[in-house]
Structure 1
Amino acid sequence: MKDYEKYDAVALAELVRTGEVTPAELVDAAIDRAESINPKINAIVTPTYDMAREYAERPPQGPLRGVPFLVKDLNHVAGVPTSMGSRLFQDYVPDHDGHVVMRFKNAGLNIIGKTNTPEVGLAATTESVALGACRNPWSTDHTPGGSSGGAAASVASGIVPVAHATDGGGSIRIPASCCGLVGLKPSRGRTPLGPDVGEGWGGMSTGNVVSRTVRDSAALLDTIQGPMPGDPYGGPSDSDSFLTRLNDHPGTLRIAIDCRAFTGHDTHPECLDAVQKVASALAQMGHLIDEQALPLDHEEWGVAVGSVIFANVAHTVLARCTTLGIEPSLDYLERNTLRSVEIGQQLSATNYVKAIQRMHQLSREMATFMENWDVILSPTLVCPPVKIGWLDPNDDPDVYGARFGGYWGFTNLYNATGQPAISLPLHRTTDGLPVGVQFAARYGEEVTLLQLGAQLESELPWPLIAQLE
């Protein structure tokens, strides 16, 4: 198929619907592009090309019938290994699909493989010992972000128009920022995580996609939203399609700006420039803009979020170690993961309950703040994409921790509160690296973010495909 990479998922589905191309032609185009590009970026770690070609012969009559797709290697596809980016899970092959994968398949998406992710999804870059470094298509010396780095690299390079991603502390929005993509983290409970877990990281984790266009993020959310029976969170309910409402005007929005990183590090000038440029455009569009200080005790809720993450990582790793009859060690784990397990083991049940209660209190504090504001605007990251190896999860833990705070510092608040947040690719550095800008809305108001994203996509269009050397 000519110019396959220039189409988004909605456009490809329309070509299939009208008979201009077949699902078999689409999957062949995607596989050809993957075989050409993936050796340069290491985005796809488990190809499923034979399975995809077979699926293309009889795809379901869903709204995205025949569109090539990739699943992050933290989630289950029946009969396909789930490595979790770790040597500890390298031989694990699930016998069932995750609920969100079932919905992707029912929509007609054709899974051509699984994408690179850091060990147990813990890092904000994608360079594990088990799977190797994934590279940013815009500059292969730089990280694509994490933990959905393989997903973002595959979409930015045009292998697929959209790919599955998850977000427990920023893992949809961070790679979207690094790779020049749209990355929407839905509200807590909007999309299912079962059947293997009811919640991820104490309710902080959720799933969706990264995409090149806003309408693809809207269309994909339509296909997967809503709880499954027995899910612990009912989630917000939207009977109307996000895609059909996408081009409705969101009205005059009250937008608060806060560019102070939660980690206390100085925000990079390029990221500040990105926010100021976007704020000016928003004001010209008629929205009301003002700088505000979010009412947060950063240290207190940071400790709470860390406790929840460490405890959940410890549980995941120790359960696998018990199955294998081994102890957690550097023979199977990276240094940052092992340290997280050790911290998690030291936490008491009362520590965990205290952390969850603090997160719930934070949600109420932010809900009160949002009574006066429709949207919060900030950078997505503290700095532009860093070079591969600069944030190495096998580095000295103290060095890693210090560098981490200078890179990541805006995203995890909205995981803790459950609010929806989106990163949009609205800026480029002087070296041409993507820089994302983040918007957060009230719980359940993804439509506001998508409509605002569509406005900005029209006013400040972004490059869609990275041209690898």
Structure 2
Amino acid sequence: MTSADAPTRVHAFSDDALGTLDAVGLVEALHAGRVSVPEVVEAAIARTEAVDPSLGALAHRSFDRARVEARDPRGGYFAGVPTVVKDNVDVAGMPTCQGADAWVGRPARADGDWARMYLATGLVPLGKSQLSEYGFSASAEHPRLGPVRNPWHTAHTAGASSSGSAALVAAGAVPIAHANDGGGSIRIPASVNGLVGLKPTRDRLAQDAMNRQMPVRIVSDGVVTRSVRDTAAFLREAEKVYRALHLPPVGDITRPGHQRLRVALNTSGLDRGADPEVTAQTLATARLLEELGHHVEEVPAPVDEEFVTDFLLYWSLLALALLSGGRRQHGRTFDRSAHDNLTLGLARHAKRHLHRLPGAILRMRRAPARSAEFFRDYDVSLTPVLAHATPRLGHLDPTQDYETVIDRLMDWVAFTPLQNVTGDPAISLPLAQAGGLPLGMMLSAGAGREALLLELALELEEARPFASLAG
């Protein structure tokens, strides 16, 4: 390995007020009086300022606002815990630019539905985190804004679209951050940054209006964290603010479950499968599950042969809608030509295939029933999050021609879109490595069964503690 290839790690873990604490640990320290909210927030600001020049993870900073809130934090379990909010939801007083620089951002007049629920848990936002343009790519590599870099090795992508949030959590700047997922965008950055990332069941948590109005509601909001208990605590506290009455409550999950589970293993993906290294790591996780007493059986993914084509068309429709309505939403500063080749190519793809859209949407709406049938035979499924090791920056550069970048994306993101269509919960756990970098293993369950996933995740975390940049 040459010096140019040597890993360049970036983190801010130190003996300040944050230390190496996760969010729950920080709450305990605050309640015990070992640290104060102003000390914690100031430490998070200093850490963010230290790592962000190397990571490019912050889209908008609101440090002065955070300092004001620290002097009189709102109530909630996480009162005083610093966080960031992904820059595709509205937070009052902050612009929402969705990872693009195609218009002049204006401060939002009010919190969106998600931010209102999220911040009601007591979290203190330092600002907004960067994402890929509109969240379409699995790697945030902006031609003008620059890339979001992986803190484990800054020559590699931090994933997307919730890459900025994940990079800041992994680097120790904040213990918990907002993420959302329309094709894997909680689970993918969790995987490549060595974090826990749970995509909740559809409608489990509050949703902004744009996501509620989709023909197929593929987007779910959640968090990325460094521990399973942080993710479990967030869901518990979010349920106190917003309760989905049609779903069983998640409740307070604090220990592994006792039930031995039927696990469906798949490494062949939705169309393209995992490479040999990732397959081997997934099989190693399957063996760990068997050692813990669970039954693992290899099965094909529960999808029809048109799933990938349908999902790509629907994904493309979102690009077409955003570009077509851009001037109306963002005003006269909106510049369609400022978008990257991936966004523009997706919009062209949608235009060419609009006649196929009704059939695609119909088939996607049938997916939850097919999944429910699958989970009558199995309790959980196990797959890798991604099909191969984390690529270097440039591999998914959106200035490449559309055909090249979309083919590379589909080759890498070969597992995660299924749960966006079915609406089922799925969690990425940092149980493996590939190419010397973190690699997430994905567990999914039937709709409403986050508690089962969290119990299993706690068991796996106990059996194989997660690696961290904190050492």
Q: Cα distance, 1:197 vs. partner?
A: 4.4
Residue 110 of structure 1 corresponds to which residue in structure 2? 124
- Aligned counterpart for 1:365 among listed residues 348, 356, 370: 370
Task: Report the count of equivalent residues.
Answer: 456
Cα distance per residue 1:64-123 (max 9 Å; x no partner)? 110000001111111111111112244233211122211222111000011110101111
Structure 1 SS opposite 2:88: coil
Unaligned runs of 5+ in 1: none
TM-score (normalised: structure 2): 0.92
Residue 458 of structure 2 corresponds to which residue in structure 1? 454
- Aligned counterpart for 1:256 among listed residues 246, 264, 271: 264
**Equivalent residue letter for 1:450:** L
- Aligned counterpart for 1:236 among listed residues 221, 236, 247: 247
Residue 419 of structure 2 corresponds to which residue in structure 1? 414
Structure 1 SS opposite 2:149: coil
**Equivalent residue letter for 2:446:** R
**Equivalent residue letter for 1:411:** T
Cα distance per residue 1:412-435 (max 9 Å; x no partner)? 011110010011000123x53001
- Aligned counterpart for 2:323 among listed residues 313, 317, 320: 317
Q: CA 1:30–1:201 in structure 2 vs 1: closer, same or farther (change >3 Å)?
A: farther
Conserved? CA contact 1:187–1:235, under 8 Å: no
**What does 1:373-452 align with in structure 2 at a 5 Å threshold?**
373-429=378-434, 431-452=435-456
Residue 333 of structure 1 corresponds to which residue in structure 2? 339
Cα distance per residue 1:430-467 (max 9 Å; x no partner)? x5300111111011101111111100100001112267
Residue 52 of structure 2 corresponds to which residue in structure 1? 38
Ranges of 4+ aligned residues in structure 1 off by more than 6 Å: 226-229
**What does 1:183-202 align with in structure 2 at a 5 Å threshold?**
183-200=197-214, 202=216
- Higher mean alpha-carbon deviation, 17-26 vs 379-388, is at 17-26
- Aligned counterpart for 2:312 among listed residues 303, 306, 323: 306
1:274 and 1:155 map into 2 onto residues whose CA distance is 24
- Higher mean alpha-carbon deviation, 89-98 vs 158-167, is at 89-98
1:425 and 1:290 map into 2 onto residues whose CA distance is 22
Q: CA 1:280–1:3 in structure 2 vs 1: closer, same or farther (change >3 Å)?
A: farther
Conserved? CA contact 2:194–2:438, under 8 Å: yes
2:257 counterpart of 1:246: no
Conserved? CA contact 1:318–1:328, under 8 Å: no
Q: Cα distance, 1:148 vs. partner?
A: 0.5
**Equivalent residue letter for 1:267:** A
1:117 and 1:89 map into 2 onto residues whose CA distance is 16
Q: CA 1:225–1:120 in structure 2 vs 1: closer, same or farther (change >3 Å)?
A: farther
Q: Cα distance, 1:315 vs. partner?
A: 1.4
**Equivalent residue letter for 1:417:** T
Cα distance per residue 1:323-362 (max 9 Å; x no partner)? 4358864x321111012122334454x6433222201222
Q: CA 1:92–1:466 in structure 2 vs 1: closer, same or farther (change >3 Å)?
A: farther
Conserved? CA contact 2:117–2:242, under 8 Å: no
2:357 counterpart of 1:352: yes
Conserved? CA contact 1:189–1:235, under 8 Å: no
Residue 214 of structure 1 corresponds to which residue in structure 2? 228
2:302 and 2:232 map into 1 onto residues whose CA distance is 31
- Higher mean alpha-carbon deviation, 125-134 vs 333-342, is at 125-134
Residue 101 of structure 1 corresponds to which residue in structure 2? 115
Q: CA 1:200–1:466 in structure 2 vs 1: closer, same or farther (change >3 Å)?
A: farther
Cα distance per residue 1:375-408 (max 9 Å; x no partner)? 0101110011100011111211111122112211
Q: Cα distance, 1:209 vs. partner?
A: 0.5
Structure 1 SS opposite 2:430: strand
**Equivalent residue letter for 1:71:** V
Structure 2 SS opposite 1:317: helix
2:298 counterpart of 1:291: yes
2:275 counterpart of 1:268: yes
- Aligned counterpart for 1:136 among listed residues 134, 147, 150: 150
Q: What RMSD, in angstroms, separates the aligned Cα atoms of the two structures?
A: 2.1
2:317 and 2:106 map into 1 onto residues whose CA distance is 22
- Aligned counterpart for 2:177 among listed residues 155, 163, 174: 163
TM-score (normalised: structure 1): 0.92
2:241 and 2:323 map into 1 onto residues whose CA distance is 27
Structure 2 SS opposite 1:314: helix
Identity %: 34
Cα distance per residue 1:236-293 (max 9 Å; x no partner)? 241x62xx223141401000101002232x4222211221111111111110111112
Structure 2 SS opposite 1:381: coil
Residue 9 of structure 2 corresponds to which residue in structure 1? none
1:449 and 1:279 map into 2 onto residues whose CA distance is 15
2:211 and 2:20 map into 1 onto residues whose CA distance is 37
**Equivalent residue letter for 1:314:** L
- Higher mean alpha-carbon deviation, 283-292 vs 355-364, is at 355-364
- Aligned counterpart for 1:87 among listed residues 98, 101, 121: 101
Conserved? CA contact 1:301–1:362, under 8 Å: no
2:468 counterpart of 1:464: yes
Conserved? CA contact 1:227–1:235, under 8 Å: no
Structure 2 SS opposite 1:142: strand
Q: CA 1:206–1:52 in structure 2 vs 1: closer, same or farther (change >3 Å)?
A: same
Conserved? CA contact 1:420–1:443, under 8 Å: yes
2:210 and 2:238 map into 1 onto residues whose CA distance is 17
Structure 1 SS opposite 2:128: strand
2:196 and 2:253 map into 1 onto residues whose CA distance is 18
